[in-house]
Structure 1
Amino acid sequence: MSNTLYARTTLGNIADLTTPSSTQKYVLGEQVLAYDSDNKVIAKYEYVKSHGALGINIPYVIVASSTAGSEVITAAPFTLAAPGLRVCVPQVAFTSGYYGFVLIQGIGDAIMTAETYAVGDHLQVLNAGVAMVVDGSTGSTTYSVNTCAICKEAGTTAVAKSIYLINRQAVCAAS
């Protein structure tokens, strides 16, 4: 195997962050930093191949694959059989098999469950879940092995709300 020094600091086009493509434009696993001037934080995106159709703002996980051209791929949200995976949240919908960037760190929107959640609550994804839930009970600001995000917008309904996604491996909770 030969290695070449590789570094990319800019995208070919900023629209690539929000435009999945049927053809691979970047290196799988490539991470891009984008300054969020509204919130004054850095957002981090990772280039992946979608395992299926990805819904906007639904949490998924990033896994390794032994299939050529799909080494960095999304997977259905957590299952107990696959603990300790990084959560990602696509900020746009993906067609199955498309390539694109998913949010892995920073402020974005994610679907929440219909429960009470407050600003600052730590969030997790449950076993086979398709939405963020409070890690514990509302008012829970204790960082646990399940925590994958922090709530930035209070509510009580199952809609997309603002979160801060933490770029770390999280363990799936059974319930």
Structure 2
Amino acid sequence: MTLSIKNLKGKRAIFFDFDGVFTDNKVIISEDGKEYVFCSREDGMGIGLLSELDIVSYIISTEVNPVVSARAEKLKIPCFQNVEDKAKIVKEICESKGIALKDVIFVGNDINDLGAFSIVGLPIAVKDSHPDVLKEVKAVTKKTGGNGAVREICDMLKKALSK
């Protein structure tokens, strides 16, 4: 279940959940109700590496949160929020781009990602994912969400797709 260059070869699209993947799944709430999260700049640099490759990337989130929008905009990644059925939107995007689901990666951490995991070629969980998620994926990162897991995947994708 370790992430390897071999299982990344031939991949053409990568979809990321946001909370728990780009973040450590914790939130700070101010007294006026605003939410704040920490994101890794290391992960942001990893996303930049993907732009050099022939791979498309997306963020898909169940919640609607301006933090997600702001981070996606900064990273120049299309972002879909308020998504109840992640598998459905992954299918729709892949069909519109002519990408086979076997050539798709989905990175998540919780049970609301299970549907998307079940349809893609390579479901990946971050190390600190829910135990039920860890049972359903083909690979697990060495790093935890919000602490370099995205960068780990991006670095390996770059190696796999550059050869």
Scaled by the length of structure 2, what TM-score is found?
A: 0.24
Structure with greater proportional strand content: 1
Task: Work out which of the two has the higher radius of gyration on C-alpha atoms and give 1 or 2.
Answer: 1
TM-score between both structures, scaled by the size of structure 1: 0.23
Greater per-residue helix proportion: 2
